[in-house]
Copies of this chain bind each other. A is one copy, B any other.
């Protein structure tokens, strides 16, 4: 656990904004001025494999990262691209239903909602 890895994890733990690798890199530079983007990507991959963070790889051309590894729903605004957490209990029974129906071994599932967030509704595009 290097200083770089620790810093990246702290940044992700302290925000609920589901940031991009670039944004994380910019924040990390405030603390370690010469940290490289490659290092950010490498550590995001390691932290993901450790189960400490989750990669959100949908809804745009780039990934966002979530410092909360506990399963929860997400909402993606189709206007501004922001990702919000949805505070509703996740239906865990679904996985068992899919297992019974398919015989597949289900390790996880996730649900994303798409639409317009409050701010973007206000802008009436």
The chain A residues found within 8 Å of chain B, CB to CB, are: 57-59, 73, 75, 77-78, 84, 86-88, 91, 94-95, 97-98, 101-118, 121
- Give the distance in Å from the alpha carbon of A101 to the alpha carbon of B75 in the complex: 12
CB contact between A107 and one of B57, B78, B109, B111 (< 8 Å): that residue: B78
Cβ contact within 8 Å between B108 and A104 = no
Cβ contact within 8 Å between A116 and B101 = no
Cβ contact within 8 Å between A108 and B115 = yes
Cβ contact within 8 Å between A105 and B98 = no
CB contact between A109 and one of B105, B112, B117 (< 8 Å): that residue: B112
Given contacts A57-B58, A58-B57, contact A116 B104 (CB under 8 A): yes
